[in-house]
């Protein structure tokens, strides 16, 4: 906590020095969403380059003055929370003054900018993420406050822990982990007792684009158990992008890549090539929208696709057909096809890429 307080004090000292010299104070932050500030490596994924381009948030510029003020406001709130050892969610911060902040997105972006600027993880700033993720299967652990969590009991679902760094005594006999894109598919697999039917496993869902805690948790489990991790996503550009976030990270959070990415993750399904192999009727598939085409074109240019020839081939199949499919399309073959045929065959015979 002393490091956090010192880092904030250094920023404020810089503001005072500028004022003492009759200069307009400026905050300097990295351009987090600029691909030119990111490099790709097989071992880590997308990570911010050491000397990235910066942008100035000026106090004397009409376009950035309000953002400058909001950054100082949130820095002061973080300082007080660290001093008093209290915590708040991003939503809590937004609701302290909704009119001042304007929107939740503004608060979210400023907090990430501050985390990047100070080079301190969000959790150490005493800001908690809103938790969306669920976990189930062969896993038990103890939370920071001593609460014992046992996910192994039948079809019990637990939310991903709010303080991933604080969990300890992790125990699992799982043979693999399965990351499921959607909550509905996750629940269906639980109902079918998938976690125990074939071999013990851990199942996780971020319910779409994963929040920070879910990504931290996947990484923690990988560090702890070193078991294979597979993803089950819709066969569409959105599903592929979500998988890439787990595997290689995102541009906006590339400054924290070392804690968030798991480059060993495998794409189990739903593969575009599976649709033809399984003779899925074209009436069950969904035509691409313009947004889908744009997203796919963007994915095909990403640096990590070049080192994944099999992935590249699957994206080419998708681009040629201009059709997408949800995981639920497998129910057109039979109601239990996903859990009793598709996944067991894939896992047994190596149907992943």
- Active-site residues, by number, are 95
Q: Cα(147)–Cα(138) distance, rounded to whole angstroms?
A: 17
User: How many CB atoms are closer than 10 A to CB 103?
Assistant: 10
Helices (H) and strands (E) in the chain, counts: 16, 17
Return left, alpha or beta for 267; rule: phi > 0 is left, psi -120 to 50 is alpha, else beta: beta
E strands, 59-211, are 88-89, 127-128, 134-137, 140-142, 148-150, 158-159, 168-171, 176-180, 201-205
In DSSP terms, 30 is beta-bridged to: 54
CA dist list (Å): 320 to 33, 59, 162, 192, 303 = 30, 50, 42, 35, 21
Neighbour count for residue 13 (Cβ, 10 Å):
10
Residue located via tokens 């948030």: 57
């Amino acid at each position: 906590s002393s490091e956090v307080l010192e880092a904030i004090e250094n920023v404020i000292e810089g503001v005072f020095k500028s004022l003492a010299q009759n200069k307009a104070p400026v905050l300097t932050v990295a351009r987090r969403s600029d691909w030119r500030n990111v490099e790709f490596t097989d071992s880590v994924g997308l990570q911010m380059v050491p000397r990235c381009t910066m942008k100035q948030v000026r106090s004397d510029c009409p376009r950035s003055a309000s953002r400058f003020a909001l950054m100082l406001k949130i820095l002061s709130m973080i300082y007080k929370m660290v001093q008093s050892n209290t915590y708040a969610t991003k939503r809590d911060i937004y609701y302290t003054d909704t009119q001042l902040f304007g929107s939740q997105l503004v608060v979210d972006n400023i907090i990430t900018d501050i985390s990047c600027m100070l080079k301190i993880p969000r959790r150490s700033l005493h800001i908690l993420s809103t938790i969306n993720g669920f976990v189930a299967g062969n896993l038990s652990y103890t939370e920071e406050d001593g609460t014992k969590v046992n996910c192994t009991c039948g079809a019990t679902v637990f939310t991903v822990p709010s303080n991933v760094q604080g969990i300890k005594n992790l125990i699992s006999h799982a043979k693999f982990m399965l990351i499921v894109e959607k909550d509905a598919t996750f629940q269906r697999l639980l109902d079918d007792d998938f976690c125990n039917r074939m071999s013990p496993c851990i199942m996780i869902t971020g319910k779409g684009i994963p929040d920070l805690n879910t990504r931290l948790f996947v990484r923690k489990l990988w560090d702890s158990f070193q078991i294979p991790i597979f993803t089950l996503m819709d066969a569409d550009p959105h599903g592929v992008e979500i998988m890439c976030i787990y595997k290689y990270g995102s541009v906006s959070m590339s400054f924290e890549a070392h804690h968030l990415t798991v480059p060993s993750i495998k794409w189990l399904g739903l593969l575009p090539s599976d649709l033809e192999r399984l003779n899925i009727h074209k009436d069950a598939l969904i035509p691409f929208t313009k947004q889908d085409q744009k997203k796919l074109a963007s994915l095909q240019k990403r640096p990590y696709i070049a080192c994944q020839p099999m992935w590249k081939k699957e994206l080419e199949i998708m681009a040629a057909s201009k059709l997408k499919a949800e995981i639920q399309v497998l129910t057109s073959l039979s109601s239990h096809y996903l859990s009793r045929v598709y996944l067991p065959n894939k896992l047994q015979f190596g149907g992943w890429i």
